[in-house]
Amino acid sequence: MLGRYFFITFRYLWSAAAVLILAGGTAWSIDLHLPDRSFQGDMVVGQVTPGSALWVNGTPWTTGPRGHFILGVPRDLKRDLLVKARSKNETTSHTIQILKYDWHVQHIDGLAKNYVNPGKNERTRIEADRQKIGSVRRAQPYVLPFFLKKGFIMPVKGRISGIFGSQRVLNGEPRSPHSGLDIAAPLGTPAISPADGVIRLVVEDSFLMGNVLMIDHGLGVSSIFIHLDSVVVSEGDLVHQGDVVVRVGQTGRATGPHLHWGVSVGSIPVDPMRLIGKKFIRPIR
- Residue 30 predicted with pLDDT over 90: no
The yes-or-no verdict on residue 195 having pLDDT over 60 is: yes
User: What is the per-residue pLDDT for 45?
Assistant: 95
Q: Which fold has domain 2-99?
A: Immunoglobulin-like (2.60.40)
Distance CA 235, CA 224 (A): 13
Quick check: do 2-99 and 105-275 share a fold? no
Q: Which helix (H) or strand (E) holds 83?
A: strand 81-87
pLDDT(15) > 70 = no
85-111 per-position pLDDT tens digit: 998 889 999 999 999 998 876 666 666
DSSP 3-state percent helix, strand, coil across the chain (nearest 5)? 15, 40, 45
Whether residue 80 has pLDDT greater than 80: yes
Domain ranges for the chain, please list them.
2-99, 105-275
The per-residue DSSP string of 192-252 comes to E-SS-EEEEEEEEEETTTEEEEEEEEETTEEEEEEEESEE-S-TT-EE-TT-EEEE-B--S
Query: pTM of the predicted model, to two decimals?
Result: 0.80
Phi, psi of 265 (to 5 degrees): -110, 105
Stronger pLDDT, 273 or 89, i.e. the higher one: 273
* CA quadruple 224, 247, 204, 118: dihedral sign: positive
Q: Which CATH number fits domain 105-275: 3.40.50.300, 3.20.20.450, 3.40.50.970, 2.70.70.10?
A: 2.70.70.10
The confidence score (pLDDT) of residue 103 equals: 85
pLDDT over 90 at 22, yes or no: no
Q: How confident is the model at residue 170 (pLDDT cuts 50, 70, 90)?
A: low
pLDDT of amino acid 159: 96
